[in-house]
Amino acid sequence: MTMLTKSRAGFARPLVSGAAMLAGLFAAGCSTSELLEVKDPAVATPGSVESQSAVPTVYAGALGDFFVAYSGNGLNDAFAPTVALFTDEMRSSDTFTTRNDADRRTQSSPSNGNLADIPYVALHRARWSTETAARLITKFFPGTDPRIAELTSLSGFTYVAFGEAFCSGVPFAPTETAREFVEGPPLTTAQMFDEAALRFNAAINGLGAATDAVSTSRRNLARVGLGRALLNNGKFAEAAAAVAAVPDNFVYVDDHSANTTREENSLWNLNGSNRRYTLSDGEGVNGMNWRSANDPRIPWLDQGRNGFDNATRLFEQLRWSNRDTDVPLADGIEARLIEAEVALKSGDVNTWLTKLNALRAQVRTLMTARYANYATNNPNTFVTNTTLAPLDDPGTPAARENLMFRERAFWLFGTGHRLGDMRRLIRQYGRGAETVFPTGTWHKGGPIGPDVNLVVAFREEQNSLFVRANCKTNVP
């Protein structure tokens, strides 16, 4: 899957003096008014993108909008890096107020702007682009076209992202009325996951019985997305059934590129390149020991200098070691983790451990298949491990839950799952927020705040259907 980019061919022009050009134009009978009538071939009118010939461009643009929203767009904070900063995965090594506020979980008044505004707008744009592109393809191609299933699934993932990261009550305008101003009603957290599940099921059903490689891949994309949505709504048995046929080696990635800043991997740019984020370790008492665990799933590097604020030590995560490293969105690892959690929920400890240990036994194979240069671009000796030691049963329900979510945290690091998991620990497992999220003193001074989700952008104040009071940032 490769994002299409604009070709530079045809942009070169012979060097001609302005005087010579004007002389030639007037000789040809061109008036001054005609010279001022500029036609910009780079502008696409609505009609020009509603034809069959426009499908490849619209399809590529929709993919790009999703990748940008979820994990891309250079130095802009996409969904996955925002989640990483808001949770315990990354710390702010920046001076920007919005990033510091997100890191300490004390978001500002919406009217002042917050870090979450960037992914909020981008996810809605991606939702519109993917659904619009899917409808366009449906006009000219069979309903079984795998591009339709892919775009429908990506729309589903925008609902998953909103449900996992933002407060309950996010408004969603209909995408069918793009040329009209239509206010969208708010959805509760559970409703967002229900909407996501509808789209994933539609993608699966739309593919029919097709068995070609692309259709099979897109079916697995939808299956993992469905499992994720169902898990978030506490529908455990259904979640396990959704992912049962997904193989371990399946992976669908957000495609990133060095062609333009828009296409760059955002977490790499914010961490290793521009030094705005630093890899955390034991943040606020409860944070995971991402660095000190010396786990091959989290390769990292001490850059030997401080971050952008010139005060916070810069530790670089090395899953994404350059600007064009792709980011897994859905894969067989997540499918097995969902099955393992469901087994634990049902009391089947043997199956739970067996599934976790089967993944650990192939850590190098799985990581190498997902992260470019994983084995060669990391200086830490521990990444050469081909397996992880098998886990033993810790013996108590609480300890098993801790281990389950620790395994999810290390396998799914930096891919946008962490905030949803932390909120699930509160919502589905009865944990207190102070036992799940970092607490105590923020690393730059002052207390860590109580927010457990991201605030809806201020621009929704113009939506008469949106109720700000329902957006409670301290409710999981």
* 116 is a domain residue: yes
Calculate the average pLDDT of the chain.
90
Confidence bin at 50 (pLDDT 50/70/90):
confident
Residues 6 or more apart whose CB falls under 8 angstroms from that of 41 comprise: none
Assign 206 to helix, strand or coil: helix
Confidence bin at 32 (pLDDT 50/70/90):
very low
> What is the domain-level CATH number for residue 373?
1.25.40.390
State the amino acid at position 149 in one-letter form.
A
- What is the average per-residue pLDDT within 458-467? 94
Higher pLDDT, 14 or 443: 443
Task: Tell me which residue range forms the domain holding 152.
Answer: 52-250+322-470
Tell me what pLDDT residue 293 has: 92
* 149 is a domain residue: yes
Residue 358 and residue 380: Cα distance in Å, rounded? 24
Report the largest interatomic distance among the alpha carbons of the chain, rounded to a whole angstrom.
91
Confidence bin at 376 (pLDDT 50/70/90):
confident
Pair 168, 189: CB distance under 8 Å: yes
Strands annotated E in 88-192: 90-92, 170-171, 186-187
Tell me what pLDDT residue 74 has: 87
* 113 is a domain residue: yes
* 358 is a domain residue: yes
Sign of CA dihedral 38, 40, 44, 47: positive
∠ CA 72-114-180, rounded to 5° = 75
Q: For residue 270, with 0-12 CB atoms within 10 Å meaning exposed, 13-18 middle and 19 or more buried, which class applies?
A: buried
Which residue in 227, 240, 220 sits closest to 355, CA to CA?
240
* 30 is a domain residue: no
Residue 210 and residue 261: Cα distance in Å, rounded? 37
pTM: 0.90
Tell me what pLDDT residue 381 has: 59
* 285 is a domain residue: no
Residue 380 and residue 267: Cα distance in Å, rounded? 20
In the chain, the number of structural domains is 1
Confidence bin at 166 (pLDDT 50/70/90):
very high
* 199 is a domain residue: yes
* 261 is a domain residue: no
Residues 6 or more apart whose CB falls under 8 angstroms from that of 271 comprise: 81, 90, 277, 278, 279, 316, 317
Higher pLDDT, 1 or 216: 216
